[in-house]
Structure 1
């Protein structure tokens, strides 16, 4: 009888441990953070949004020729290696087609409408151009072909990223952490015909780290001073080797700093003051 009870207790413990392990694994895999901090260890947290302009001198190592971070992200989505989301809430995945549509210029000024193309306009002109090029190159009519024209933005054109992070004070380790949750690729307002920034796709930081680690030859932070010391992009984000500015801090109205304080110089000053306030908060924790 005692043996049966012991077996029953052991089985119950195994089931309990198994359920707990499954719960932890599921929670970890769904967490957008590359290094999640347990909620029980968090003494303070604010969600902060930052913009990264890859054209800035400090950010050029992430935007080196043919190794642009945007190129790596785009190729990973197209190959199915990376999942894109509609926005930084990371709740709604985008299909590959939706992602490509988001990074495709919608400007059709000076071109034919869909109805005109369906009616056959422009076909004769295209055929004449094709024959002319074929004749100039000494090709036969069967050898000539017209490559499809793509309106997708080039990776170099998508120089704007938005980073969403949790600024967390870990009471167990007694320090502040920048826990990056997501990175979004933006179409700059200068490229959008409607004049505002458009989200191409948002990505979990944990997914990006996996892609960066899997592509060490491409996903590099270029060290202009020493070719032997290039770093992986995952390490570059860990070490905060980039320049950014704050655009929003979590607030009841979910308003950006530019909406509260105004754009231009006022917005930049507000961003600087917000960054200093976060640093000051960490220092004040050690004041007696």
Structure 2
């Protein structure tokens, strides 16, 4: 009898231990943004890759169609509280919807006075007082706080730059390579005239698993536009699943966490390194099947 109870207790303990381990693994996987996480025990090879996606490219225009831009779908979901926005791809700190709106806004530059107006004796201070009554004699002038320039949100069509973080994984159980997307980041392009900084500015980062839910819950808006057949538009979630977009590699995991253009000393060298990195990954997968 004692042996029976001991065996039952051991079995129950193993089941509880296995359940706890599975729960821990699932929690860890869901926290990194993966939609279909692959168990660590099945991973033979993994490389973390950062890709840039230019939505103006011909292959990417179906997810950037008029009125149904992917940037519109994402930002609108944030504004109505359906989607959580994160500060970076570590996914540890979040933005409020108001902060996301601020990140995708720009201040209008002050026009100021022309050279002719300055030569005529006008100053920026006097320009602010045009039309104002003159102060009385003996009264002290009141210092005026300059009004901040008005700010405007970028149009959804202006937000044509995205960054996609993925793990390229070879699953030894299924004997195939997977693109396990983790996060997608919306970026203010550096080429916009209103972006006076001249550098790309991240708006917010989003878990891919959260984005899939948003795309599925809004099938009338989250559309990959099929220009050949209006009856065959696809959901954006399916477009990412089928890899119906073009991208180029800007970073492959490395000890310095540096981008390719930083490693190779320039934008042109970075483009060449991106093409080489893509070829190397394809060759690695081919060699797995060859030997």
Q: What band does the TM-score fall into relative to the shorter chain? A: 0.7 to 0.9
Out of 213, 217, 224, the residue aligned to residue 214 of structure 1 is: 217
Q: Which residue of 1 aligns with 2:284?
A: 281
Maintained 8 Å contact 1:220/1:233 = yes
Q: Which residue of 2 aligns with 1:51?
A: 52
Q: Which residue of 1 aligns with 2:208?
A: 205
- Give the whole-Å Cα distance in 2 for the aligned partners of 1:208 and 1:163: 12
Post-superposition CA distance 1:41-90 (Å, at most 9, x none):
11111111110000000000000010000000000000110001111121
Maintained 8 Å contact 1:106/1:193 = no
Out of 232, 235, 238, the residue aligned to residue 235 of structure 1 is: 238
Maintained 8 Å contact 1:53/1:160 = yes
Q: Which residue of 1 aligns with 2:229?
A: 226
Q: Against the structure 1 CA distance between its residues 254 and 212, is the aligned structure 2 distance closer, same or farther, given a 3 Å change threshold?
A: same
- Give the whole-Å Cα distance in 2 for the aligned partners of 1:168 and 1:229: 30
- Give the whole-Å Cα distance in 2 for the aligned partners of 1:213 and 1:183: 16
Deviation at 1:108, TM superposition (A): 3.4
Mean Cα displacement is larger for which, 278-287 or 59-68? 278-287
- Give the whole-Å Cα distance in 2 for the aligned partners of 1:38 and 1:264: 37
Q: How many residues are matched?
A: 256
- Give the whole-Å Cα distance in 2 for the aligned partners of 1:124 and 1:197: 41
Q: Which residue of 2 aligns with 1:268?
A: 271
Out of 242, 253, 257, the residue aligned to residue 256 of structure 2 is: 253
- Give the whole-Å Cα distance in 2 for the aligned partners of 1:20 and 1:169: 23
Maintained 8 Å contact 1:53/1:59 = yes
Q: Against the structure 1 CA distance between its residues 173 and 124, is the aligned structure 2 distance closer, same or farther, given a 3 Å change threshold?
A: farther
Post-superposition CA distance 1:4-50 (Å, at most 9, x none):
959x9497678657645643553353241111111111111111111
Maintained 8 Å contact 1:107/1:193 = no
- Give the whole-Å Cα distance in 2 for the aligned partners of 1:171 and 1:95: 41
Give the unaligned 5+ runs of structure 2: 113-127, 133-149
- Give the whole-Å Cα distance in 1 for the aligned partners of 2:129 and 2:35: 51
Q: Which residue of 2 aligns with 1:117?
A: none
Maintained 8 Å contact 2:108/2:151 = no
Mean Cα displacement is larger for which, 98-107 or 244-253? 98-107
Maintained 8 Å contact 2:216/2:235 = yes
Deviation at 1:91, TM superposition (A): 1.4
Q: Against the structure 1 CA distance between its residues 107 and 274, is the aligned structure 2 distance closer, same or farther, given a 3 Å change threshold?
A: farther
- Give the whole-Å Cα distance in 2 for the aligned partners of 1:15 and 1:250: 36
Query: Which structure's CA Rg is the greater one?
Result: 2
| Alignment of structure 1 residues 1-288 onto 2, 5 Å | 9=9, 19=20, 22-110=23-111, 151-191=152-192, 192-288=195-291
TM-score (norm: length of structure 2): 0.80
Post-superposition CA distance 1:180-230 (Å, at most 9, x none):
110000001123211100000000100000100000011010000011111
Maintained 8 Å contact 1:49/1:163 = yes
- Give the whole-Å Cα distance in 2 for the aligned partners of 1:248 and 1:25: 27
